[in-house]
Copies of this chain bind each other. A is one copy, B any other.
């Protein structure tokens, strides 16, 4: 078999088999000392602590007590490892229960993912990637679609609204997580950072040129954003509700 289907990319069959845990155990050769599962779990631990930047194949190998290149017998490349990490983490979300209405289901979806991203901030650092066709990702997506099917929407709008809610949650989570990630990366806390920039507001910022920002700053509105996630979520779902109402 050629080493890669396209430029440097792994075999799709292999990737999907890994995601679905359907990789046939090889018969020949020495028994494997590790499992894909352990590799993925370890990688998640490291990424949880050090972020996606802090995740390196060498670190994973070191923590597992194996040589770096040994990991490549479990996983074709780092990109596939990240896909596995994403799908595995997504498996942590709670699923809707029978009897829940569409709004309740979407709220559950949103809150579960909100928490998920806080537990695993690196999930939002993966950029420019295609959908992960893993069991947990598809499950979660199917559940979310199901909520909107319950609302009686057609297929196009189901997809549209799932995207809307998903996008909302990811966006908010990113905001909420960014400063913590910056702190980890730079070693500068939020307080230190803002304090070091206080001189800007005092000496350089043109208040008259930014009347709205000035007003918001003076009111201390940025420290009042505690319940913003729930607030925005309610507004987003209200938008859907209004769409449903107007339709009739």
Contact = CB atoms under 8 A, between A and B. Distances in A.
Interface of A: 5-9, 12-13, 16, 20, 22, 51, 121, 124-125, 127-130, 133, 138-139, 141-143, 145-146, 149, 154-156, 158-161, 163-164, 166-168, 170-172, 174-175, 177-179, 181-182, 184-188, 192-193, 196-197, 199-200, 204-205, 209-213, 215-216, 219-222, 224-225, 228, 231-232, 235-243
Contact of A163 (B138, B161, B172): B172
Copies in the complex: 2
24 contacts: A5-B196, A6-B187, A7-B186, A7-B187, A12-B197, A12-B200, A13-B199, A16-B197, A121-B128, A125-B128, A128-B177, A142-B209, A142-B210, A142-B212, A155-B224, A160-B231, A163-B232, A167-B171, A168-B168, A170-B171, A171-B171, A238-B238, A239-B239, A242-B242
A98 B241 CA distance: 32
A164 B130 CA distance: 25
A175 B163 contact: yes
Contacts of A219: 154-156
Given A156-B225, A197-B16, A213-B141, A188 B6 contact: yes
Nearest to A185: B128
Given A13-B199, A51-B128, A163-B172, A212 B158 contact: yes
Is the contact region of chain A dominated by helix, strand, or loop, or is it mixed?
A: helix
Nearest to A79: B186
Nearest to A192: B6
A88 to B, nearest CB: 18
Contacts of A156: 219, 221, 224-225
A121 to B, nearest CB: 8
A177 B127 CA distance: 10
Contacts of A22: 204
Given A164-B236, A224-B156, A197 B133 contact: yes
Contacts of A199: 12-13
A159 B196 contact: no
A96 to B, nearest CB: 12
